[in-house]
Amino acid sequence: MRNIFTEHPHSIGESYFQHMKFATLFGIKMITGGLACIIHAVLPFLFQKTGSKMLLGMTRHFVERMPSIDGNVTDLFHIIERKKAGTPVSLSKENKAQLIKS
């Protein structure tokens, strides 16, 4: 019998409660980083790198625990490689739409 509460957690190798813990902590970090960015927008001398550091740390943690690599991670890898090589990086309208959709 299909269980909608455990289907997704099991698909990524986690129990329901492991997934709940990770998703809750991830959400709290997203809110915290977002608040830091909003405060930084008004008071640019505060939290100058907080949001970006949190985002990069969360992205790294998320990618490390993925059971397989998807297209978004591959795209991110290619962007990083181009930046390291000094190649300008700009997203096409299609790529931006794809990132927003996924």
Considering the chain, what is the average pLDDT of its residues?
Answer: 86
More confident residue, 63 or 42: 42
Q: How far separated are the first and last CA of the chain, in Å rounded?
A: 29
Predicted confidence at residue 84, as pLDDT, reads 86
Q: Which domain holds residue 82?
A: 7-101
pTM above 0.85, yes or no: no
- Evaluate whether residue 2 is within a structural domain: no
- Evaluate whether residue 1 is within a structural domain: no
Q: How many domains does the chain have?
A: 1
Average pLDDT over residues 13-24: 94
Split at pLDDT 50, 70, 90, the class of 47 is very high
Predicted confidence at residue 80, as pLDDT, reads 84
